[in-house]
A and B are shown apart, each in its own frame.
Chain A
Amino acid sequence: MSAPFDMNDDNVVVIIGTGAGGGVLANELAQKGVSVVALEAGGRYMPEDYINDEWDSFGQLAWTDPRTTSGDWRVAKDFSGLPAWIVKAVGGTTTHWAGASLRFQDHEWKPRTTYGDIEGANLLDWPIDPREMDDYYTKAEDKLGVTRTGGRAGLPGSNNYKVFEKGAKALGYEEVHTGRMAINSADNDDRLACQQTGFCFQGCKWGAKWSSAYTDIPRGEATGNLEVRDRCHVMRIEHNEQGKVTSVVYVDADGNQQEQRARVVCVAGNSIESPRLLLNSASSMFPDGLANSSGQVGRNYMRHVTGSVYAVFDQPVRMWRGTTMAGIIQDEAKNDPSRGFVGGYELETLSLGLPFMAAFLDPGAWGREFTTALDHYENMAGMWIVGEDMPQETNRITLNPDVTDQHGLAVADVHFDDHPNDVAMRNHAYKQGIAVYEAVGATRVFPTPPYPSTHNLGTNRMSEDPRDGVVNRHGQTHDISNLFVSDGSQFTSGAAENPTLTIVALAIRQADFIAAELSKNTL
């Protein structure tokens, strides 16, 4: 049978979400001949629809359904209703992401073994050997067209990069380059080369940056095996008396409730929505939510140790020109506990336009200390910190019984407290980032607090032992064999690297597993 599929077709794999996890999984399965219905809460936007304007684009793409926050993280104070800056659209946050595509370091697959017993941290090794991932990483890099891999050239350095590079070299950093980016340095895979337009976060209007919205999704649809239903918000997953999932109930684009039967359900709504959906699907058989016998659904929420360093110079930089994140210092990504923390961090170039700089440079600040910084916006350079944060059981997504969304569903509360290791790492990164810019003559520096999270990880984590996590080494839930998790929520740990490449590699790997199990009739 080919798409579109009937609501009563119980042979389909239903995938919830179409981003780096769900979008790739949908295409990979469709290419193997598996029938797939992908349900996407957001609308469909293509490069011609994207907007080179920060707030207009935010209004077009961002997930702004209500959420609440708690905990000591500054985001809860500055952006109490916006814990995450992620996307509600076909392609998910692959429309918004910067394109940084880094493999985990080997030791990051085994954080419990490597870092030991860190007080307050719920560290666990991934049930995956790093060598198992090598081929999947290569496939992911080829799919995304990652620069500096597979013989693809690096991107050219922008003004912002040149400042960053000069400061980094002055400090003695050696692993400094324009990044491994899923942004074409030359025409590749029917996508144009980067035109140095900026606005990478607003959706690439050239299609030079990989997004599942205009690669995997249409390619999957072209097979006839994939049907994407956009503006369809999933309310809950149903199951039978045997404890297998059987269907997905959702609100369609016209506001009507629908029920799609399913042979397999894969949840890929990101680390906030995926646990929320499992919790909102609680039943008499599964009173704590689906796949939650461990009690770990929603727990161990990670968002990376982040922060930014901006600096003002006595002459113009014009950091907004060109690729937003094509610049990296990797020397601090290693695990070197002598720095006062375990794990490591990357420093990556970053720029914001004037409107977002006003919103994010020092949220809540006012007066001349703040405005004189913006007065020199043209002379600013910027970088972002991304490092491994500690999983903590108490950092978690829960249902907020007091707040419901437009569908009457309890919203997610995102609770996060920094771990002392996170604080120590961030402070070290601020110091190094400031030193980079001062080495080039910065006249003023700004250790800028974290933005709403773009890297949301860990809330349905992978574990060898079903008591420690939600899914096994294939992303299959320990409790329900035909229910999978296919996004960053399956991350056992966060590592120092931007997560998309690993999400994509795991999705390709999961597609192999699901297709094989389907052919063996074990699902």
Chain B
Amino acid sequence: MSIRKQAMTRRQLLSKSAMFGASFAIGSGFVAGQATAANWAVEVEHLKPETMATLIQLARDIYPHDQVSDEYYAVAVKGYDSADAAEGIEVGIAELNEAAKGIGFANYIDVGWERDRVDLLRGMEDSAFFQQIRGGLVTGLYNQKAIWPIFGYEGESFSKGGYIDRGFDDINWL
């Protein structure tokens, strides 16, 4: 069982999990990375686990960076798992799943190709729900210091004395 799960893609895993209940969850109320090698997990209190899983996929489809792992997207949307936000998110994700059904899939996560999911999103990009998620990601994703090195960005430099002796003018290919 665990070997078979390992061989699945994350999306397949989450999709199956949604169908078969919470088998992808670590205990109840968790959404994890690869179940057998989970090095991250996000606990949900107010959202359904499958809703959180869909949110993570949605976040990646909005700002896809193949070199950035799911855990950062999970952190970016974790804030929606709150008493205030959860209801609206459940409604928004339910609408997203309905849209997926309209093109013949069980739900959003079941849509296999990114281009098909993006087509669905293009049809709803002016909605308040989409703009809420997209707008939140601008800071929720890109202001995570942990992802900056993935993009080469070095962040704070004052404590290191700036770049005066650390390559402010080291370009060598011009």
- Which A positions have Cβ atoms within 8 angstroms of B? 52-55, 156-159, 162-163, 166, 194-199, 205-206, 315-318, 320-322, 353-355, 357-359, 364, 366-368, 370-371, 374-375, 377-378, 440
Q: Is the CB of B163 within 8 A of A321?
A: yes
Q: How many Å lie between the Cα of A318 and that of B170 in the bound state?
A: 9
Q: How many Å lie between the Cα of A470 and that of B168 in the bound state?
A: 46
Given the known interface contacts A53-B155, A317-B171, A355-B143, the answer about A374 and B163 at a Cβ–Cβ threshold of 8 Å is no
Q: Is the CB of A199 within 8 A of B167?
A: no
- In-complex Cβ contact of B64 among A159, A195, A368 (8 A): A368
Q: Is the CB of B163 within 8 A of A197?
A: yes
Closest 6 CB pairs of A and B: A378-B152, A197-B162, A195-B162, A322-B168, A358-B142, A52-B156
Given the known interface contacts A196-B162, A367-B118, the answer about A158 and B168 at a Cβ–Cβ threshold of 8 Å is yes
Is B63 part of the binding interface, using a Cβ–Cβ cutoff of 8 Å? yes
- In-complex Cβ contact of B62 among A197, A318, A355, A367 (8 A): A367
- Which B positions have Cβ atoms within 8 angstroms of A? 61-65, 67, 118, 125, 134, 138-139, 141-143, 148, 151-159, 161-164, 166-171, 173-174
A144 CB to nearest B CB, Å:
21
Q: How many Å lie between the Cα of A157 and that of B164 in the bound state?
A: 11
Q: How many Å lie between the Cα of A357 and that of B138 in the bound state?
A: 10
Residue on A nearest B173 in the bound complex, by CB: A315
Q: How many Å lie between the Cα of A353 and that of B154 in the bound state?
A: 9
Q: Is the CB of B142 within 8 A of A159?
A: no
Contacts of B61 in A (CB 8 A): 367
Q: Is the CB of B142 within 8 A of A366?
A: no
Given pairs A55-B139, A159-B169, A358-B138, 11 additional interface contacts (CB within 8 A): A53-B156, A159-B168, A195-B163, A197-B162, A199-B156, A206-B162, A322-B168, A357-B142, A359-B138, A359-B139, A368-B64
Given the known interface contacts A197-B158, A355-B143, A358-B142, the answer about A378 and B163 at a Cβ–Cβ threshold of 8 Å is no
Q: Is the CB of A377 within 8 A of B151?
A: yes
Q: Is the CB of B169 within 8 A of A371?
A: no
Q: Is the CB of B65 within 8 A of A374?
A: yes
Q: How many Å lie between the Cα of A388 and that of B164 in the bound state?
A: 34
Q: How many Å lie between the Cα of A195 and that of B159 in the bound state?
A: 11
Q: List 27 A-B contacts (CB under 8 A).
A: A52-B158, A54-B143, A55-B143, A162-B169, A195-B162, A199-B156, A206-B162, A316-B152, A316-B171, A318-B152, A318-B171, A321-B167, A321-B168, A322-B168, A354-B151, A355-B139, A357-B142, A358-B138, A358-B142, A367-B64, A368-B64, A371-B64, A377-B151, A378-B151, A378-B152, A378-B153, A440-B174
Given the known interface contacts A159-B171, A366-B134, A367-B118, the answer about A196 and B164 at a Cβ–Cβ threshold of 8 Å is yes
Given the known interface contacts A196-B164, A354-B142, A366-B62, the answer about A375 and B67 at a Cβ–Cβ threshold of 8 Å is yes
B16 CB to nearest A CB, Å:
27
Residue on B nearest A158 in the bound complex, by CB: B168
Q: Is the CB of A371 within 8 A of B167?
A: no
Residue on B nearest A322 in the bound complex, by CB: B168
Contacts of A375 in B (CB 8 A): 65, 67, 151
Contacts of B65 in A (CB 8 A): 371, 374-375
- In-complex Cβ contact of B163 among A157, A198, A205, A377 (8 A): A198
Given the known interface contacts A196-B163, A355-B143, the answer about A205 and B158 at a Cβ–Cβ threshold of 8 Å is yes
Q: Is the CB of B153 within 8 A of A195?
A: no
Q: Is the CB of A156 within 8 A of B169?
A: yes
Q: Is the CB of A322 within 8 A of B138?
A: no
- In-complex Cβ contact of B158 among A199, A318, A321 (8 A): A199
Contacts of A206 in B (CB 8 A): 158, 162
Contacts of A317 in B (CB 8 A): 171
Residue on B nearest A167 in the bound complex, by CB: B174
Q: How many Å lie between the Cα of A198 and that of B160 in the bound state?
A: 12
Contacts of A378 in B (CB 8 A): 151-153
Q: How many Å lie between the Cα of A283 and that of B50 in the bound state?
A: 60
Q: Is the CB of B143 within 8 A of A374?
A: no
A373 CB to nearest B CB, Å:
11
Q: Is the CB of A197 within 8 A of B151?
A: no
Contacts of B156 in A (CB 8 A): 52-53, 199
Q: How many Å lie between the Cα of A166 and that of B171 in the bound state?
A: 12
Contacts of A318 in B (CB 8 A): 152, 154, 167, 171
A145 CB to nearest B CB, Å:
18
Contacts of B151 in A (CB 8 A): 354, 374-375, 377-378
Contacts of A367 in B (CB 8 A): 61-62, 64, 118
- In-complex Cβ contact of A355 among B142, B154, B168 (8 A): B142
Q: Is the CB of A195 within 8 A of B152?
A: no
Contacts of B159 in A (CB 8 A): 52
A174 CB to nearest B CB, Å:
19
B158 CB to nearest A CB, Å:
5
- In-complex Cβ contact of B63 among A52, A195, A199, A366 (8 A): A366
Residue on A nearest B142 in the bound complex, by CB: A358
Contacts of B166 in A (CB 8 A): 321
Chain B CB within 10 A, most for which of A54, A366, A375: A366
Given the known interface contacts A322-B163, A358-B138, the answer about A196 and B171 at a Cβ–Cβ threshold of 8 Å is no
Contacts of B164 in A (CB 8 A): 194-197
Residue on B nearest A370 in the bound complex, by CB: B63
Contacts of B142 in A (CB 8 A): 354-355, 357-359, 374
Q: How many Å lie between the Cα of A260 and that of B106 in the bound state?
A: 69
Residue on B nearest A313 in the bound complex, by CB: B173
Q: How many Å lie between the Cα of A364 and that of B170 in the bound state?
A: 34
Residue on B nearest A51 in the bound complex, by CB: B156
Residue on B nearest A366 in the bound complex, by CB: B62
Q: How many Å lie between the Cα of A316 and that of B134 in the bound state?
A: 28
Contacts of B67 in A (CB 8 A): 375
Q: Is the CB of B153 within 8 A of A353?
A: yes
Contacts of A197 in B (CB 8 A): 157-158, 161-164
Q: How many Å lie between the Cα of A52 and that of B151 in the bound state?
A: 18
Contacts of A195 in B (CB 8 A): 161-164
